[in-house]
Amino acid sequence: MPRLAAPLAAHREGICVSIYIPTTPLSQETAHDRIELKNMVKSAEQQLHDAGADKREIAATVEHIDDLIDLVELQLGEPEGWRGVTANVGGGRDGSLSLLEATALCRELTGKQVPIGSEPENRPGDVPIYLSDCARLYSLTSWRPKRSPRETLADLLDWVVEHEDALRVALNFDG
């Protein structure tokens, strides 16, 4: 486990949802798979509610998986059209941000300023640019992610604020 993942995993607070559903390429069973997936998401939502989870946090969690569920439902509805297809899923160019753009949004959302510097040379492990190339997926369907980078960063900020104490402990941050 990466160096920071272990301490974070040890301090699980808030919502964590895992859904596993075996699927089948047999077209007569895909309707059942779609129904089963929706039922599992609703069940997870109800379990979170019953456990006393914050309604806002439940709503944000469900919203984040809605984009993916929409795509999975499309695929389950036409299993023959997706057989053997390998395609990237992500925000693509429209959902991408440069570090400067992400920093500007974070400044806007938090109201805090962070000094920015640069290094003239790439360091080992630096990724100069990352874009999900979703051209194959987009050529097969009209599905697109609905949540903007701003909405995603705002949700992350809400989560960090709500779990700040646990994060300080997990990251050994005293400042």
Residue 123 lies in a domain: no
d(CA 74, CA 69): 8
Q: What does the pLDDT look like over 17-70, one tens digit per residue?
A: 677 666 565 556 666 766 777 788 788 888 888 888 777 777 766 666 667 778
Residue 33 lies in a domain: yes
Q: What does the pLDDT look like over 56-106, one tens digit per residue?
A: 777 766 666 667 778 887 887 787 888 888 888 877 777 788 888 888 999
Residue 125 lies in a domain: no
Residue 106 lies in a domain: yes
Using pLDDT thresholds of 50, 70 and 90, give the confidence band for residue 2: very low
Q: How many structural domains comprise the chain? A: 1
Once rounded to an integer, what is the mean pLDDT over residues 106-122? Answer: 87
d(CA 92, CA 149): 11
Q: Half-sphere exposure (CA, 13 Å, Cβ side) for 163?
A: 20
Residue 105 lies in a domain: yes
Once rounded to an integer, what is the mean pLDDT over residues 113-124? Answer: 82
Q: Helix 99-110 crosses helix 149-162 at what angle (to 10 degrees)? A: 50
Note the pLDDT of residue 30: 60
Residue 124 lies in a domain: no
Residue 100 lies in a domain: yes
Note the pLDDT of residue 110: 93
What does pTM read for this prediction?
Answer: 0.55
Note the pLDDT of residue 23: 59
| Residue partners of 78: CB distance under 8 A and separation at least 6 | none
Note the pLDDT of residue 8: 46
Would you tell me how many other CB atoms lie within 10 Å of the CB of residue 111? 7
Residue 152 lies in a domain: yes
Q: Where in the sequence is the domain holding 134, given as residue range(s)?
A: 5-118+130-170
Note the pLDDT of residue 1: 41
